[in-house]
């Protein structure tokens, strides 16, 4: 484990386009996969931000803390703020953000993004798939207050990172597709 990286699984949404909360997809396997990717990639602790399912509806892997985003319905930004707030109380110098709906992203992607963040003067790194920014995203602690303040609606750290020229893009096409699943397969 990289002792200074906390993992945050964003899993609070209702999954309107998907048809139900994605945290429940594949009988909870997407959630377990996201937690496993963060842990295996070097994150400890790992928190899961919940909302639409209610604060007690999930069975989480051992050692994972649930964080309730009471304002989850306002968008992804609420989940990000809740997750960053939860890990801010600890010693982590980086937060690694992973949405629950990227089930093919594994530990090797997380580890590669963490390594890039550690090597970047800005402490900011994100996975890139097919030339497009994706997840996970690693954020140095110094950026958490500004990211939380800038996050609105369904835009988490995207606007903050887009406005910066020092975010390291980490090519991960050889490890995963990085596709987020907004709709169920027919």
Judged by DSSP in three states, 136 sits in strand
Judged by DSSP in three states, 160 sits in helix
As a three-state string, the secondary structure of 45-79 is CEEEEECCCCCCCCCCCCCCEEEECCCHHHCHHHH
- Dist. CA 91–CA 82, nearest whole Å: 17
Return the minimum-mean-pLDDT range out of 54-68, 142-156, 162-176: 54-68
Q: Among residues of the chain, what percentage have pLDDT more than 70?
A: 83
The pTM assigned to this predicted structure is 0.91
Domains, the chain, in order of start with CATH, read: 5-171 (3.90.550.10)
- What are 107-138's pLDDT values in tens digits? 999 999 999 999 999 999 999 999 999 999 99
- Among positive and negative, which fits the CA dihedral 130, 136, 142, 145? positive
């Amino acid at each position: 484990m990289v002792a200074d990286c906390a993992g945050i699984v964003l899993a609070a949404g209702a999954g309107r386009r998907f048809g139900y909360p994605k945290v429940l997809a594949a009988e909870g396997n997407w959630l377990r996969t996201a937690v496993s990717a963060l842990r295996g990639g070097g994150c400890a602790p790992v928190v899961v931000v919940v909302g639409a399912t209610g604060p007690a509806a999930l069975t989480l892997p051992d050692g994972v803390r649930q964080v309730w985003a009471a304002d989850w319905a306002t968008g992804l930004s609420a989940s990000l703020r809740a997750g960053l707030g939860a890990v801010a109380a600890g010693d982590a110098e980086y937060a690694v953000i992973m949405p629950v709906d990227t089930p093919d992203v594994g530990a090797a992607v997380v580890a590669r993004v963490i390594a890039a963040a550690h090597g970047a003067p800005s402490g900011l790194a994100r996975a890139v798939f097919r030339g497009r920014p994706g997840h996970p995203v690693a954020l140095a602690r110094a950026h958490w207050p500004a990211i939380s303040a800038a996050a609105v609606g369904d835009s988490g750290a995207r606007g903050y990172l887009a406005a910066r020229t020092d975010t390291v893009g980490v090519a991960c096409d050889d490890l995963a597709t990085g596709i987020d699943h907004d709709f169920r397969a027919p």
